[in-house]
Structure 1
Amino acid sequence: MSDKAVVFDNSGTLLERYRAIKNLSTGEIFTNVNSLQLIDNIGDAALVILQFDSSCLTKMDSNIKIYDLIKKYDIEFDVSYSNYYVSKEDVLSILKNDSSIIRDISDAFDVLRGKVKNMHLCNGSAIILDLNSQKVAYTITSAGKLFPKVLFTVNELKKNGVNVYIASGDRSGAIKKLANIIQIDESNAFPTADSKNKCEIVSNLQNQGFKVMMVGDGPNDILAFNKANISVLTLEQKEEVSPKMFDHADHVIHNISEVLNIDF
């Protein structure tokens, strides 16, 4: 067994991400904003991933409250990024008193369809909770397609005996599908991993004797960057990146295939 492992973030790292984000206070839908940066801008906020295929919402009454949707269909959800610990009970408490509805998610579907050609998978939907106002501030619907050199890069790593893993904040169904697309074992793919989970994944691999490279593009990768033997910031998404990311990265790349040139 090789003693080297590469852990990839998903959205913005392996997948070119496309997001349609609805501001619930204004009704505006925009596509050029990083959701994690939004959370950092709000301050006390949390990104909640809804664990279901949101395309089913097109068949439902668009006026159903998001809280009622979750309760009626027993939809799983996870907090994948926040400034401090937020429990599932906290999330449900906020949603119960919030007026956001299915339409606040499905309004973005047409925007995504118009932007994503040759879509590989739908990452699904999420919400951003403003923990001060105790309301849903934004809804997010996302989709993506592989960056052009992903399959080549993963295949080359495997040829060289490097173990490949995914650690992502995205929903379970999307990450399992991605593991199949890039042909790695599903047990090597960790979904809905928050900052702490990603760091633990890197640490666990190191405890198994691996030298670990972590590749990511967002602030939820920083703890894993700090723990990894080599940290790699990828700018292939071509979005604004938090300046603090550069302070925690050993290498900065513009194409995923450049990890093949990094000696570790």
Structure 2
Amino acid sequence: MAKRIAVVFDSAGTLLHMYRVAKEAATGRILENIESTAIVAKKNGCGLVVLNAENETILRSREEMLLFEFIEEYRVPIGISCSKGELSLETVCEIIKGTQLRMGDVHEVLHAVSARCPNIFYLAAGLIVDSKARDVPYVLSTGGQVFATTLETLRALQAMKVDTYIASGDSMRTLSQLAEYIGIPPERIFALATTTMKEEVVLKLKNKYEKVIMVGDGINDILALRAADLGIMTVQQGDKRPEKLKEAADLVLDDIIKVVDVVKGL
């Protein structure tokens, strides 16, 4: 007999309140509170690329070192968190190799987030890659801290015998600390999940559970929200969200704790 309910959570902006900074490669400007998935969604061939390296390793690197040299020398895995249209890792590597981006650019955004985000829970670095322009227009860093009601929400659901999952574009390295804190086992974490992969996670879980709920806040959650038996969009992050994302959701909640009442109602 199928288990009754599973709840799949996005991470950044849903479980974690995020602070994001981008450095515009063309001008050197630092842009605060940017929405990386929204930037990607504006143009075909764009993708959000994650550098899967420890921050200590990044910050120990020489500022003048080329980014591609760092990736090669330290054998840094990179992942495509989300993209609009087709984008391969091979293409990403070719584009990064053709730029003059240096580790000092990555250091700058990491330091900017650390300075502005108190009680930081995790810190990550990445890039926006434009395969049409063959360029990297932005270097990014994001920092997150759990929302005040995140832990309470997960504990309440788990006490109700609801199975909880994470499907996120973040790396496993980043997500493992969060999952341990909120009580989600590693086998229920789907890291580096693209928009399509999140949808696939939901569809597979629907074969195992009577009802699958997807909880997310970003445009990369849109297919999973539509695929779920119940799609919940959270607006706790406070950023402006596309109207089509709200239309894809069955419910829009201003606090993640309200997911508990929704599940009780089922």
TM-score by length of 2: 0.95
TM-score by length of 1: 0.96
Cα deviations across residues 115-160 of structure 1 (Å, max 9, x unaligned)? Answer: 11111222x1110011221011101111110000001000000111
Identity %: 30
Which secondary structure state, in structure 2, belongs to the residue aligned with residue 3 of structure 1? strand
User: Partner of 1:106 in structure 2?
Assistant: 107
User: Partner of 1:67 in structure 2?
Assistant: 68
Supply the AA of the counterpart residue of 1:214: M
Supply the AA of the counterpart residue of 2:58: L
The answer on whether the counterparts of 2:168 and 2:192 sit within 8 Å (CA) in structure 1 is yes
Which secondary structure state, in structure 2, belongs to the residue aligned with residue 48 of structure 1? strand
The answer on whether the counterparts of 2:126 and 2:141 sit within 8 Å (CA) in structure 1 is yes
Alignment of 1:160-179 (within 5 A): 160-179=160-179
Which has the larger displacement, 27-36 or 154-163? 27-36
Deviation for aligned residue 1:98: 1.2
Supply the AA of the counterpart residue of 2:66: K
User: Partner of 1:51 in structure 2?
Assistant: 52
User: Partner of 1:197 in structure 2?
Assistant: 197
Alignment of 1:77-226 (within 5 A): 77-122=78-123, 124-226=124-226
Deviation for aligned residue 1:176: 0.9
* RMSD over aligned Cα atoms: 1.3
CA distance in 1 between partners of 2:148 and 2:78 (Å): 31
Supply the AA of the counterpart residue of 1:207: N
CA distance in 2 between partners of 1:40 and 1:70 (Å): 26
CA distance in 2 between partners of 1:195 and 1:143 (Å): 21
The answer on whether the counterparts of 2:225 and 2:248 sit within 8 Å (CA) in structure 1 is yes
Deviation for aligned residue 1:114: 2.0
The answer on whether the counterparts of 1:2 and 1:161 sit within 8 Å (CA) in structure 2 is no
CA distance in 1 between partners of 2:220 and 2:238 (Å): 17
Which secondary structure state, in structure 1, belongs to the residue aligned with residue 204 of structure 2? helix
Off by >4 Å, runs of 4+ in structure 1: none
Which secondary structure state, in structure 1, belongs to the residue aligned with residue 192 of structure 2? coil
Supply the AA of the counterpart residue of 2:231: S
The answer on whether the counterparts of 2:92 and 2:131 sit within 8 Å (CA) in structure 1 is no
Deviation for aligned residue 1:233: 0.5
Count of matched residue positions in the alignment of Structure 1 and Structure 2: 263
User: Partner of 1:4 in structure 2?
Assistant: 5
